[in-house]
Structure 1
Amino acid sequence: MAKLKTVLTFMLAGAFLGNLVATFTAPRFMEWYNSTPLASQTMCNLPQVVHDVTTQLIRAQFIGSGIGVVLFLVLGTVYVQARAKKQSAPPPPASTPPPPAPTPAEG
């Protein structure tokens, strides 16, 4: 159960970081993607533009969260396996103490 909890924690952190990255990078991409060529003047339906842009932002955040979840699922799995391998490694063999030295015979 502890391994699953660790992997899920990694996945949650990945979703958060993926969403954060998408929130900062998606607006620049959407500005470029939605700009008109050669900056020509256009008339537009503003409510539709707002709807489309917010839909694109939410989609970008969802994709970023998904990428973060998958990436951190892999990282979490590798981390849990490495930790389990480290904990289950057998201790080094104990060296046996040398036999006691013979004592000189009393004469």
Structure 2
Amino acid sequence: MDKFKTVFIFTLAGALLGNWVASLIVPSYLAWNNSAPLASQQMCDLPKAIHDTSSGLIHGQLVGSGIGAVAFLVLGIVFIQLRARKQKAAQPPPAAPTPTAS
């Protein structure tokens, strides 16, 4: 259960970190992607533009959360494997049984 908890915490941390990074990057990308080419003036349907921008931001956050969760899931598994190897190497070898007098 301890290993599952560790992997779950790594995955959750990765999802949150991915969401945070996406929240920083996606608005700039959406502004660049929706800008008019050659600075021409456009009339637009504002409710549709707001819907598309909001959908794009939420989609970007979901993608960022997924990427972060998968990346940190892998890191969590690697962390558990390395910790298990370290603990196994730190254990002293079992002592030889002492002979008993019969």
Structure 2 residue aligned with 1:99: none
Task: Tell me the C-alpha RMSD between the 2 structures.
Answer: 1.4
When structure 1 is superposed on structure 2, of 83-92 and 23-32 the one drifting more is 83-92
TM-score, with structure 1 as normaliser: 0.84
Correspondence list, 1:18-37, <5 A: 18-37=18-37
Structure 1 residue aligned with 2:99: none
Give, in whole Å, the separation in 1 of the partners of 2:77 and 2:33.
Answer: 37
Shift of residue 83 of structure 1? Answer: 0.5
* More helix per residue: 2
Structure 1 residue aligned with 2:92: 91
Secondary structure, aligned partner of 1:73:
helix
* One-letter amino acid matched to 1:23: S
Is 1:40 paired with 2:40?
A: yes
Shift of residue 85 of structure 1? Answer: 1.2
Is 1:13 paired with 2:9?
A: no
Q: Which runs of 5+ in 2 are unaligned?
A: 96-102
Structure 2 residue aligned with 1:3: 3
Shift of residue 92 of structure 1? Answer: 5.9
Give, in whole Å, the separation in 2 of the partners of 1:36 and 1:17.
Answer: 32
Structure 2 residue aligned with 1:67: 67
Structure 1 segments of 4 or more deviating over 3 A? none
Query: Rg bigger for which structure?
Result: 1
Count of matched residue positions in the alignment of Structure 1 and Structure 2: 94
Q: Which runs of 5+ in 1 are unaligned?
A: 95-107
User: Identity percentage over the alignment?
Assistant: 59
